[in-house]
Amino acid sequence: MLGSGRLGRLALGCVAALAASAPAEAQDRAVPPLVFTGIPDQDESRLVERFGRVAAYLEAKLGVPVRYIPVKSYPAAVTAFTNGQVQLAWFGGFTGVQARKAVPGSQAIAQGAEDAAFKTYIIANAATGLKRGADFPKDIQDRTFTFGARASTSGRLMPEYFIRQAFPGKSPEQVFARVGFSGDHTRTIQLVQSGAFAVGAVDYSVWDLDTKAGKVDPTAVTVIWESPTFPDYQWTVRGDVEQTYGAGFTEKLRTALTGVTDPAILEPFGRSKFVPVSNAAYEPLVAVGRSTGLLD
C-alpha cells in the first residue's frame, strides 16, 4: 500500500509528465495544412484525380497535413497564391511568372522533365483543308481562332508571340476574323473539333492526353503546326513557408516532388518525372510577356 507522501509525489510526477507533453501535442495540432492549387488547364475530373494523389503523397512525405483546393480560372490561382490562401501551386510558365512577381521571395522549385522544352500545337478543323507543315501556317489568317485561357503560356502567351512574329505589326484581332478564349486546353480541342472555331492553339501534352483518352477525333481535327520550344509548367512555393513549417522546408518539398516515381501520379500530368528548377529558367517568358504587352 502506498503512503500518502509517495502517492502525492507520484501524482505530481504524472502532472509534470502531462504538462511536459501537452505543449508538443498542442504544437502538433497547431500546424496548419499546407494548401495548394493548380491552374485549371483541362477537364475538372482529371484535375481532381491528379491533385488528390499529389496531396496524399506529399502528406506522407512531409509529415504535415496537405490539402488541395480547386480554382475556377488561371487568374484565380494567382490570386489564391498572392493572398496566402495557398502556399504552393502548379502554375503554367506565365502564371508562375505573374505569381512570383506579386509575391517576392517565392521560388519555382520543380518542373516536369518535359517542361524545359514545352510546345504549342496549332490545330485546325478538318473542313478547313489545312495541312501540317514545318513553317508557321500563315493561311490561318482571316479564319476564326481560339486561344485557351487568357493567361495560358502554351494556349495564349506563346501562340500570340508566334502570331505577331508571323504577321508583323498586327495583333491577333487584326489577323483573324474572330478571336476567342476557350478557358482551357480540353475545351479548345472540343471547340475546334466541333467546328465552332476553325483553328486554335493548344498545349501539346493535353492534346496527347486527350488523344490517348479517345477524346480527339482525328477525322475532325488535326495538328497543323508544332511550335519552337519554351519553358512552361512548374511548382512554385511562397517564400514564407519556412516561417510556418520550419527551416529547410522548401528543400524538403522540392525533394518530395522530384522524388515522385509513381506512374499513377505522373501520368495524369503527362510527365515522366519532376526535376529541380529555379526562377531563372523562366526569364525568357518575362521577355515575351513584356514584348506582347501581357506583362507590365
Domain extent listing, the chain: 31-113+235-292, 119-226
Torsion of the alpha carbons at 72, 75, 76 and 77, rounded to the nearest 10:
100
Contact call for residues 234 and 110 (beta carbons, < 8 A): yes
Alpha-carbon separation of residue 206 from 179, 186, 267 (angstroms):
21, 7, 11
Nearest to 232 by CA among 108, 117, 74, 109: 117
Predicted pLDDT of residue 43: 81
Cα separation, 194 vs 201, whole angstroms: 15
Grid cell locating 179: 478571336
Write down the CATH number for the domain with range 31-113+235-292: 3.40.190.10
pLDDT band for position 4 (cuts 50, 70, 90): very low
What is the distance between the terminal CA atoms of the chain, rounded to a whole angstrom? 81
Please tell me if the domain spanning 31-113+235-292 has the same topology as the one spanning 119-226: yes
The class that CATH gives domain 119-226 is: alpha beta
pLDDT tops 90 at residue 160: yes
Taking residues 53-69, what's their average pLDDT? 97
pLDDT number for residue 82? 98
pTM of this structure? 0.84
